[in-house]
Amino acid sequence: MAQEKQYIVSTSPHAHAGSSVQRIMLDVIIALLPAVAASIYFFGWHALRLTAVCVIASVAIEALCRKMMGRNLGIRDLSAIVTGLLLALNLPPSLPSWMAIVGCIFAIGIAKQLFGGIGYNPFNPALIGRVALLVAFPVAMTSWNEALSPERWSGLAWAVDATTSATPLSAIKTAIANTGTIPADLMWTSKSMIHYMLGDMSGSVGEVSAIALIIGGIYLLWRRCITWHIPVAFIGTVAIFAGILHAVNGDANMPVNFHLLAGGLMIGAIFMATDMVTSPVTKKGMLIFGVGCGLLTMLIRRWGGYPEGVSFSILIMNAVTPLINRATHPRIFGHLSKSKQAKADKEGDAK
C-alpha cells in the first residue's frame, strides 16, 4: 500500500521572508556607516574613540551577561554592535570613555539583557543608555564640541581638546528663556540650512549630518528593514507643529527646517523610533506612534526643561506600544468586528 502524503498543519505565518536578525542588523550597520563617516570627519578623534569604545563595550557586556545567565553568547546576531553604534552616535563628542562604558552597561545589561535579551526589551536600549547618562552626568552630557569645518580640520581633528559651543537647539532655547525672542545672530538663513544639512554644527556625534542620516534611511527602506510610516509621521508632525508655532509667533519660534535639521530628529525618526521590537507592528499603529513621538518632541522642545525632546518622546511612546498594538490589532479573517459581535450577542440574548 502506497504511503499517503501527510501535511503538517500549523498556525501562521506560513511563509518566511528570507531574512534573519543577523541580516537585518547588518543592514542597519551599513545604513549607519555614512553617519559614522560624517561624525569622524566633523569631530575627528572623539567620534572614532566613542564609536570604538561603545561597540567593543556593548559586545563584551552582552557576552558577559549571556554567560552569567547560562546562555549562548548571542553576539553573532550583531545586535550589540548596532546598540553600541547608536549609543555612540547619540553622545557628545568629548564624553569620557568610562562614561560611555557606563552607558553601555545601562543599554545592554539593564535595558536589554535584564528583560531577556533581543526581542524582549520594552524600551530602545541605546536611548535608555543615553538618558541614563543624561541623568547621571548632566554636565558632561551637555558639553558639546564645535564641529571642525574644512578650513580648521587639518591638525585639529585628532587633538584631544576641541572648541566647545552650545548646540543650535540649546542656544535658541536659552535665548528665548532670557529675552523672549530670538536674537538676530541666531536667526535662520539659507547658509545655516546648508551647514545643518552637511553637519557643520555642534551636537551629538551622529546627529549632525542630516544628509548622511537620510542616505542611511533610504538604504533601510530599499532593504525593507523599515517602512515609511513612523519616519514620515514623526517628521511630518514635527513639521506641522513647528510651522504653526512659527506662523503664530515667528519672533519666538524657529521655522520648520530648523527643527527638522537641528538636533536628533533625523537619527531618532529613522533609526531609533523604527526599532522593530519597541515600535508597533501594525501600519495604523506605526502612524499613531510616529505622530505621538512628533507631538511630544515639540512639546518638550518648546515648553519642556530640555532643549531636545527626541529621546524622551520615543521612550514614552515605547511604553504605550503594547496599548497601540492592542487598539490597532486587525480583525481576524472570518470574525465579526467588535461592534457587530456585540450586536449579535445582544440579539442572541434577546431571543
Q: Is residue 338 assigned to a domain?
A: no
| Lowest mean per-residue pLDDT among 3-7, 286-290, 291-295, 317-321 | 3-7
Predicted confidence at residue 213, as pLDDT, reads 94
Q: What digits encode the pLDDT tens for the residues 70-105? A: 877 777 889 999 999 999 999 998 899 999 999 999
Would the pLDDT of 123 be above 90? Answer: yes
Q: What percent of the chain has pLDDT over 90?
A: 50
Q: Which residues contact 302 (CB under 8 A, 6 or more apart)?
A: 245, 253
Cα separation, 255 vs 269, in Å, equals 19
Q: What is the mean pLDDT of the chain?
A: 83
Overall average pLDDT of the 4-30 stretch: 69
| 185 has pLDDT over 70 | no
Query: For residues 269, 271, 276 and 277, what is the CA-based torsion angle, rounded to 10 degrees?
Result: -100
Residue 217 lies in a domain: yes
Higher-pLDDT residue of 283, 4: 283
Predicted structure pTM score: 0.85
Sign of CA dihedral 273, 275, 280, 286: positive
For residue 110, the enclosing domain spans: 21-327
* pLDDT at residue 172 greater than cutoff 90: no
The pLDDT score that the predictor gives to residue 194 is: 79
Of the listed ranges 30-34, 198-202, 296-300, 315-319, the one predicted with least confidence: 198-202
Confidence of residue 160 (pLDDT cuts 50, 70, 90): very low
Per-residue pLDDT, averaged over 302-330, amounts to 91
Query: Is 271 part of a structural domain of the chain?
Result: yes
Q: Is residue 4 part of a domain?
A: no
> How many percent of the chain have pLDDT more than 70?
79
The answer to the question of residue 345 being in a domain is no
136, part of any domain = yes
More confident residue, 235 or 144: 235
3-state SS of 150-199?
A: HHHHCCCCCCCCCCECCCHHHHHHHHHHHHCCCCHHHCCCHHHHHHHHHC
Q: Does 12 fall in a domain?
A: no
Domain of 176: which CATH number?
A: 1.10.3430
Q: How many domains does the structure of the chain reveal?
A: 1
Domain membership of residue 152 (yes or no) is: yes
**Burial environment of residue 45 by CB neighbours within 10 A (0 to 12, 13 to 18, 19 or more):** middle
**Three-state secondary structure readout of 43-90:** HCHHHHHHHHHHHHHHHHHHHHHHHHCCCCCCHHHCHHHHHHHHHHHC
